[in-house]
Every structure is written in C-alpha cells, then in structure tokens.
Chain A
Amino acid sequence: DGGITQSPKYLFRKEGQNVTLSCEQNLNHDAMYWYRQDPGQGLRLIYYSQIVNDFQKGDIAEGYSVSREKKESFPLTVTSAQKNPTAFYLCASSFTGVDQPQHFGDGTRLSIL
C-alpha cells in the first residue's frame, strides 16, 4: 500500500543533542513538508521541498535542518539550537498544484529527557 512512513513514533533527546526524524513516502509525490504541532496552536510549517535537492524555510525553521537527496525521503534534524523541541512532528507529501491535498504520516512525538 502507498503511504507515508514516519519513524520513530516516539523519540527522546538529551540536552545538547541533535536528533533526526525519518520520513519516507512511496506515493511518487514531488513535494514534501514538515510541520510541528503543539497543543492549542494547530500546525506550523517548518520546512518544505517541492523538488529533489531543493527546499525552503517555513514559518519556524530556526533550530531545524532538512535534506532532500531522494524524491522519497525528507529527513528532519532537530538541532541543539532548538530550545523548545518537545512537540508532535508531522511529515506530509503531495503532488504539486493548488487543488492537491497533502497526505500525512502518523507523526513522531519528541520529548526532552
């Protein structure tokens, strides 16, 4: 079945540590996205990529980094510069076009030890 796979489901980070969240899709989508979800704040866009080897900052990119070396993969690194990383992280993908819906993974919950 086609879909988006995020791993791990739960992740714990120590102070000063970088962690990488995985996102893989087999839907042949061109565009991929990373969102952060905090209680009562809805979804905020971190980074997005519309084509391999290219990506753009979203609304809250500080303290995060991404790469897009393959069409299927869009990993997110939460760096030690992100001072409040505890959140639920959602990856999405879509075909390009204003009428194309985004398809979401099941998320990764990141917590600080």
Chain B
Amino acid sequence: GNSVTQMEGPVTLSEEAFLTINCTYTATGYPSLFWYVQYPGEGLQLLLKATKADDKGSNKGFEATYRKETTSFHLEKGSVQVSDSAVYFCARQGGSEKLVFGKGMKLTVNP
C-alpha cells in the first residue's frame, strides 16, 4: 500500500536554527501532500499543502516543495522559534484513498 516515510526524531534545536524535516512518499497516482503540526495536548492542525508537482506550500515561515522526481516533500524553516516546538506529520492523499500519515517527528526548540 501507499506510505509516507519521515524523520522520526526527536530533534532538539536552538532558537534561530535552520530546520529541515525529510519526508518521502510512494509515488502511486497523483497524491496531494500535507504537513500537519500537533502542539502538546491538542489535535493536528494543517500547516501547509501542495496538490501537484513543483507546487510550494508555505505558512508561518515554513515551506515545502512537491518534488515528483525525488518523491519528496521536505519541510524547511529558516529560523525556528521556541513556539515551533511540536510534533510534525507528513501525509499523502491520493484518489479515493485515505489520508496516510508518517509517524511524526517531535521538535523541541530551546531558547
């Protein structure tokens, strides 16, 4: 079946560091790709999405580009803040399929 593989962490960074979270997906069909964020004790929130190759999703300083040639959707932020501490999930959804999540990566940002 279709799957998503992402860095699992946990990862600890200092404030203002550069962040990359790798995500690769199975290439069956033409899936839409998503990044979700989960803050402690809460549900998931959509962070950004991309629906076709070469699309770039962006929100709150985070960016991810839909790369069909490498089947990747890596999440990046140039300067993380303490408030970015959360768990990040990559996900794919294609055709009539259900949303498939990666296992999530816990990020802690220290001041």
Interface residues of A (CB under 8 A from B): 4, 6, 33, 40-43, 45, 48, 58, 90, 92, 98-99, 101-107
Contact = CB atoms under 8 A, between A and B. Distances in A.
A102 B99 contact: yes
A45 B103 contact: no
A98 B32 CA distance: 6
Contacts of B49: 99, 101
A40 B102 CA distance: 11
Given A42-B104, A98-B93, A99-B49, A48 B98 contact: yes
B44 A98 contact: no
Contacts of B34: 101
Nearest to B100: A45
Given A104-B43, A107-B43, A43 B31 contact: no
Contacts, number: 51
Contacts of A106: 41-43
Interface of B: 30-32, 34, 36, 41-46, 49, 51, 89, 93-95, 98-99, 101-104
A42 B100 CA distance: 10
Contacts of B102: 42
A90 B89 CA distance: 14
A80 to B, nearest CB: 26
Nearest to B48: A101
Given A45-B98, A90-B43, 8 more contacts: A42-B104, A43-B101, A98-B30, A98-B94, A99-B93, A101-B49, A106-B41, A107-B43
Contact of B44 (A40, A48, A90): A90
Nearest to B94: A98
A105 B42 CA distance: 8
A99 B90 CA distance: 14
A106 B44 CA distance: 8
Contacts of B36: 104
Closest 6 CB pairs of A and B: A104-B43, A42-B103, A99-B51, A104-B44, A101-B46, A99-B32
